[in-house]
Amino acid sequence: MKLGIITGHVVATRKDEHLIGAKLLIVQPILPDNTPAGQPLIAVDTVGAGIGETIIYAVGSVASRATMHPNAPIDAAIVGIVDSVDCPRAGGL
């Protein structure tokens, strides 16, 4: 999994039937120190995440398991909302 921040959302009326009702959020991947890291992706929300929140997301075929449609063509899902990040060794490798 990776850390990310919810930066927005996408509206798509015409879509795969298994995506109907899915909340499609834009996630900016971040490092443990909150700096952006790589390109934004679109993930299905499964935990009630909102704009500006720090979240954990999973990618690949396991992502759809977090949704109500485990056989949907979903390759990214938000699976947790982060309360705190503790990274004492980040600068001390």
Please give the structure tokens belonging to residue 42.
């679109």
Tell me how far apart the alpha carbons of residues 76 and 91 are, in angstroms, rounded to a whole number.
29
25-84 residues in contact with a second copy (CB under 8 A) are 26, 28-32, 34-43, 46-48, 51-52, 56, 58-66, 71-77, 79-84
Please give the structure tokens belonging to residue 16.
């795969």
Q: Does residue 21 touch a second copy according to CB under 8 A? A: no
Tell me how far apart the alpha carbons of residues 42 and 8 are, in angstroms, rounded to a whole number.
9
- Interface residues with a second copy (CB under 8 A)? 1-3, 5-16, 18-19, 24, 26, 28-32, 34-43, 46-48, 51-52, 56, 58-66, 71-77, 79-90, 93
